[in-house]
Structure 1
């Protein structure tokens, strides 16, 4: 029995690289049936990386700047393969109607910059950070959703575009990866089908986000090996020959 326990305690193969998804509800829902872009990343990186979702519904960049040191520390990111930063949908609500979440444009850009600076300060290389702009907002669809749920409609697609540009500015300033989701969505004639309620991603929207992210993800993870041998490379009569070498 002792020898069997020792065998089971064999080498673990080391820590698994991590992909961290940081953001608001669009990130919180990234493993849902509809807006599952996080699930698509996890599927794409099977046996290469653990994908960790840190999305907080309703949060803006002001709040994220405060909680970030509690969410990620230097020890957390030592094995980070990449980090996505997906904010702006809440910050960009109209100031007079969305007081509970609105963050002025200039402050939003500074907050995003400060978040990137913090990530770098705990050891995340700038090229491992991918900023994703807020998606476009289908105003009439979101207005209907707000009316049905008794919420105040406070979104403006044009203003969202300004916050998307602020994300681009931060990415350029710090040399991070960037996905201009807003602009890419607006190029598609029926782009509103990418939003299930006018604000949050549909399954089509999740696939679109993943498609834009994939080249950046592949560039950062292509050298990572698949963890543990393929089953066809293991001799069932003598599995120790391969598995004890890990």
Structure 2
């Protein structure tokens, strides 16, 4: 089992990522850090204890330091963990800096569980393609390992009727609503129909990052509200 550290400053999202990792065979979420300093300390402590972290799921926008600064600090710890960036940062310079700091994969928020699982499965393929010992690797080993990471994402096309930009807008307004939103509320907030909003909210609920709550109101007619958070 690969030991995974989740680094995310927003507790609700951290719990969702923890739940996601639990659903991927071969990976075990062993700790959560909400700041960059806590992340470095957790990796160093695990290494000293002889139970090193294999993989860090790194948010870039942390409150005390950049996730890229954390990634750079982790290169000085042995054994060094791999890093997958999980972020909404789309700036080209950030992406280039992530590569320069040894980030092996880059996953943009928001995403479905299928996309998350695909990235982690690619990472597991990458690790399994490399020899277990440190005697050395062949060109074939290297090509096979990096091929697992870089192969075009043909296995998980965007689900029919799901547009990434709309999914991001739905996610944004839902996260800002402490008491959750109905499909009608969400649709009005971003300028789409109730049915369209409902489809995206159901997708998020099926992926486990949104909770469904049934309100009966004064008339007794049930209305489903969607609340951001771990199911």
Judge same fold: TM > 0.5, yes or no.
no
Greater RCO structure (CA 8 Å; 6+ sep): 1
TM superposition score normalised by structure 1: 0.32
TM superposition score normalised by structure 2: 0.34
Greater strand share, 1 or 2? 2
Name which one, 1 or 2, has greater alpha-carbon Rg: 1
